[in-house]
Amino acid sequence: MGRIERFLDELKDMRLDGFLFTFNIDIRYLVGFSGSAGMLWVSPERRVFMTDFRYKTQSETQVGDKAEIHIISHQKDYLTLIEELELFKGARFVGIDANNVSVAQHKRLVVKFPDVNFIGIENPLKKLRQVKDDGELEKIKRAINIAVEGLKRTIPKLVPGISEKEFAAELEYEMKKLGSERVPFETIVASGYRAAMPHGIASDKTIKKGEMVTVDFGATFEGYASDLTRTYFLGEPDEKFIEVYSTVLRAQNEAIKNMRAGMSGKDIDGIARKVIEDVGYAEFFGHGLGHGIGLVVHDFPRLSPKNEDAIPAGCVVTVEPGIYIPDWGGVRIEDDVWLTGDGAVLLSDKLPRELNDIILHV
């Protein structure tokens, strides 16, 4: 059964006559279109993709026969085309993406089609997108391997005197040469005291000997993202760094060893969180353990104290415990795993993470 057919099964449960997709990631998932402008109508009767002249050839190649393709004239807009195609004919309840349709867009829909009830649905493809098929898994593996090899090639340049921005640029360049389409998020390089910031985007700060350096990075292959983090130390680390690093690594190892499909996101998070709490660093681990990755880097499911839903088999998630201490620094270790009923399969095992591996003798 194809992706659209599986969604149509869910559409019945939503009690909707059809769904108007406007989020480019969901459109790509359903029909393969990777452009930035378009709408997709899905109903039991019709599948219609609409875009503008810029994407005529691209849509014909990528969408193919998965949907009717209609190109909008520069003199018209999407709603006029929807009206001309009579897409909402006979429809009483039409689904729209509550997370991606603005108030202004909703108002225009209501004014244009007063007889239609537009129903906002949050994350309409959540159940489908979080479970990866074989093709998606292979693309994520490629994105992981590109990122891993890119960092390995760049690590020799992680020496005193280089700035965080320079190192980030070198890493992104290596990943690009290896086949990454783009970085799925702004590369994080946070050294010294800045490592206490979980999302410390690379700055002009010069990296010095005797500092920790957290590198959070990823690559994209055919739309699918990877997300990895390593924390390095330049020179000989002191006892506190060794304790913090060893605690984070043990927390990650415990989670990967014990997590499996069917557990809740909260329970998986709790495995790692308990390790950190037992050492006395609970207040310094303030984010969830991980998240799904796929066509977006922060996808479903969530490994978090807030998520009591069972995690289904087939998800690819990050496992990224961290300890962040203001005015000192921080440590995060992040890997990507594939979750099955039998446990977790570490997909980024080619990137070393033992203590001896991350001490750089400069």
Longest dimension (CA), the chain: 71
DSSP-derived 3-state class of residue 52: strand
pTM of this prediction?
A: 0.95
What CATH number has the domain bearing residue 223? 3.90.230.10
Q: Are residues 181 and 98 in the same domain?
A: no
Q: What tens digit of pLDDT does each residue of 42-90 get?
A: 999 999 999 999 999 999 999 999 999 999 987 789 999 999 999 999 9
pLDDT tens string 132-163: 999 999 999 999 999 999 999 999 999 999 99
Closest CA to 32 of 55, 9, 54, 14: 55
The structure tokens listed for 177 are 């040469």
- Check residue 265 and give its pLDDT: 98
The pLDDT of residue 76 is: 83
Q: Report the distance separating Cα 347 and Cα 190, nearest Å.
A: 25
Domain boundary among 103, 125, 147: 125
Q: Are residues 108 and 135 in the same domain?
A: no
Residue 1 has a pLDDT of 74
Same domain, 175 and 232: yes
With CA atoms as reference, report the closest residue to 96 among 82, 77, 80, 76.
Answer: 82
Q: Does 220 lie in the same domain as 169? A: yes
Residues 103 and 140 grouped into a single domain: no
- Kindly state whether residues 103 and 228 are assigned to the same domain: no
* Domain span including residue 243: 131-360
CATH number of the domain bearing residue 105: 3.40.350.10
What is the C-alpha to C-alpha distance for residues 43 and 194, in angstroms, rounded to an integer?
50
Assess whether 153 and 292 both reside in one domain.
Answer: yes
8-state DSSP, 51: E
Residues 229 and 173 in one domain: yes
Q: Can you give the pLDDT at residue 244?
A: 99
Residues 240 and 318 in one domain: yes
Q: Which parts of the chain have pLDDT scores under 50?
A: none
Domain boundary at 78, 97, 125, which?
A: 125
**Do 285 and 331 reside in the same domain of the chain?**
yes
Q: Where are the alpha helices (DSSP H) in 69-210?
A: 78-85, 103-112, 126-130, 134-154, 164-177
Q: Supply the DSSP string of 284-305, one letter for each residue.
A: G--S-SEEE-SSSSSEEEEEST
User: With b meaning 16 or more CB within 10 Å and e meaning fewer, what string describes 24-61?
Assistant: bbbbbbbbbbbbeebbbbbbeeebbbbbbeebeeebee
* Sheet strands (E) in 159-262: 188-191, 212-217, 220-221, 224-225, 228-234
Number of domains in the chain: 2
Instruction: Choose the final residue of a domain: 125, 151, 173.
Output: 125
Q: Are residues 302 and 250 in the same domain?
A: yes
Q: Which amino acid, residue 360?
A: L
